Structures are given as C-alpha cells and as structure tokens.
Amino acid sequence: MEFFLDTADVDEIREIASWGILDGVTTNPSLIKKSGRDFKTVVAEIAEICNGPISAEVTAMDTDGMLTQARALKAELPENVIIKIPCTPEGLAATKVLTEEGIDTNVTLIFSASQALMAAKAGATYVSPFIGRIDDTGADGMALIAEIMTTWANYDVDTKVLAASIRHPTHVLQCMQLGAHTATMPTKIFKQLITHPLTDKGLDGFMKDWAEVEAAGNA
Ligand code: G3P
C-alpha cells in the first residue's frame, strides 16, 4: 500500500514528508501551472524531498516526441523521477519503448479497464485510473478500480494500480479495500486521513487533566 501526494507545492510535500509515510508524488501540467514555477526545477526539488517515485508528465502528443522528452527528463532530473504518459496509442508505444529501456512509467488519464490492461501490456510501472472525474460524470469511479483489480487477479500483472483523482478520504479507504496498490491524493485528503475530532477532543481533555496533575506537584 503506497500513499502519494498529488501536488507540485513543495511546502506541502515537505510538511507531509516530515510525517515519514510519504511514498511518492504525482504531478501533471495543471499542477505545475498552479505552482507557478519552472517545471524541471520544481520536479527536481520534489525529488530531493521525497525518495519515492515522482511522476513528471510528457506533453508531446506523438511517440517520438514523448520519447525525446522522457529521455531528457531522465537525463536531467534525479533518479527517482518516473515518466507520466497519457493513455493514447502513441503513449502506449512510448511506454513499451521506455519499459524496454528500463525507464519506469505512469500511464495516466485512464477511464476504463481496457485502457489499464493495454497500458499494463505495454509494461507500465503504474496505471492511473481517475476515480473522481468518473464520479463527476455521474458514473462510479470505484467500480472501475474494482474491475481493474478483478482483471489483475486473473493474471500475473506486475503493473501497479495507482488510484488518482481522489476527492475524499473514503475514496482512499475503498481503494485499499479493493487492493489498489497506490493512491495519490491532494494534501487536504492526506491530512483528513489522520485527523478525527474525537482524537482532538480526547487529547484536549488529557492535557487539561495533566496540567492539574502538574499543578498538584504529582507529575
Ligand atoms: O494527477 C492526476 C489526477 O489525480 C488529477 O486529479 O482532481 O484533477 O481530477 P483531479
């Protein structure tokens, strides 16, 4: 079970990494835009903060362009950067070549089990089904995770299922119950997974009582 952050905000990544359980980070062109920073600079910084796989996405639409960008990213950025590739025929071909070159990939924008299967056949290290965006259409994103995991169970598939586009903590828990290998989530959801109002209330009560123990000289 791996927990990734889905952000290019280095302050947030640093904060969550300090908890000691951050396994990786995913970025995409929209998250890089939101950061307002230079793509390679921010990905390199993220890769220094977190030792796990850091997804950096190619933006070329053709296979050769994807391969050129992927090789440049691998040459210029830290070793733990992996290549995020869109789930298109051209992306499939690029994934196959990169796999043969020993470069790890994350095939993204997956909305069907057949797409996940095709990416796995191309040797993808990760496939990223987008749960929340499916939910947004009125369909059931979690049903896709279930479908993919059922398919995986029938064969000896090495590709990890990375649940993406996660909208709330229950999404994460349901993915884990279905056996998804990885979930990538915004910082807010990472924090929601560890907080509970009864924990806060209970701790407040313990601290108040302890202050009285100390005041009585019994600490
Ligand atoms: O990183 C890809 C995915 O997690 C995007 O999520 O919230 O833009 O649908 P979202």
CB 141 within 8 A of CB 133: yes
Q: Could you give the residue numbers annotated as active site?
A: 84
CB 182 within 8 A of CB 126: yes
Q: For residue 164, which atom of ligand 1 is closest to its CA?
A: 4
CB 185 within 8 A of CB 191: no
Residue nearest (by alpha carbon) to ligand 1 atom 10: 165
Ordered per-residue pLDDT tens for the chain, 219 residues: 999 999 999 999 999 999 999 999 999 999 999 999 999 999 999 999 999 999 999 999 999 999 999 999 999 999 999 999 999 999 999 999 999 999 999 999 999 999 999 999 999 999 999 999 999 999 999 999 999 999 999 998 999 999 999 999 999 999 999 999 999 999 999 999 999 999 999 999 999 999 999 999 999
Secondary structure class of 110 (helix, strand, coil) = strand
Residue nearest (by alpha carbon) to ligand 1 atom 7: 165
| Nearest of 176, 153, 151, 150 to residue 163 by alpha carbon | 176
Q: Is 132 in the pocket of ligand 1 (CB under 6 A)?
A: yes
Q: Quick check: pTM over 0.85? A: yes
Q: Is 4 in the pocket of ligand 1 (CB under 6 A)?
A: no
Q: Hey, which of 13, 55, 130 would you mutate to test ligand 1's pocket, going by the most ligand atoms within 8 Å of its Cβ?
A: 130
Backbone angles phi, psi at 86, to 5 degrees: -70, 150
